[in-house]
Structure 1
Amino acid sequence: MNIRRAHEKDIPRLIELLEQVLQIHADIRPDIFIPGTTKYTNEELAEMIKDDTKPIYVAADDDDICMGYAFCQIRQQPFSNNMVPFTSLFIDDLCVDAKTRGQHIGEQLFEYVKNEAKHLGCYEVTLNVWSGNTSAEKFYEKMGLKTKERQMEYILM
Structure 2
Amino acid sequence: MTIRKAQEKDISRIIELLGQVLQIHAEIRPDIFIPDTTKYTEQELAALLKDEKKPIYVAVNEEDVCMGYAFCQMKEQPFSNNMVQFQSLFIDDLCVDRFARGQHIGESLFDYVKQEAKRMGCYEVTLNVWAGNTSAEKFYEKMGMKTKERQLEYIL
The correspondence of residues 118-129 of structure 1 with structure 2, limited to 5 A, is: 118-129=118-129
Q: Which amino acid aligns with 1:72?
A: C
Q: Considering only aligned residues, what root-mean-square deviation do their CA atoms show, in Å?
A: 0.8
- Once the two structures are superposed, the pairs formed by residues 84-103 of structure 1 within 5 Å of their partners are 84-103=84-103
Q: Which residue of 1 aligns with 2:69?
A: 69
TM-score, reference length from structure 2? 0.98
Secondary structure in structure 2 of the residue aligned to 1:89: strand
Aligned mates of 2:80, 2:5 — CA distance in 1: 32
Measured in 2, the distance between the counterparts of 1:83 and 1:66 equals 39
> Within 5 Å, which residues of 2 pair with 1:101-116?
101-116=101-116
1:28 corresponding residue in structure 2 = 28
Q: Residues 80-107 of structure 1: CA distance to partner in whole angstroms, max 9, x if unpaired?
A: 4421100000000000000000000000
Aligned residue pairs total: 156
Which amino acid in structure 2 is aligned with residue 10 of structure 1?
Answer: D
Gaps of 5+ in 2: none
For 2:80 and 2:4, the matched residues in 1 are separated by 34
Q: How far apart, in 2, do the equivalents of 1:69 and 1:59 lie?
A: 6
SS in 2 for 1:9: helix
Q: Distance in 1 between matches of 2:105 and 2:81?
A: 39
Counterpart-to-counterpart distance in 2, 1:80 and 1:50? 31
One-letter amino acid of the counterpart of residue 113, structure 1: V
Aligned-pair identity in percent equals 77
Question: How far apart, in 2, do the equivalents of 1:82 and 1:31 lie?
Answer: 37
Q: TM-score, normalised by structure 1?
A: 0.98
Deviation at 1:79, TM superposition (A): 6.7
Task: List per-residue Cα deviations over 1:115-148 (Å, max 9, x = no partner).
Answer: 0000000000000000000000000000000000
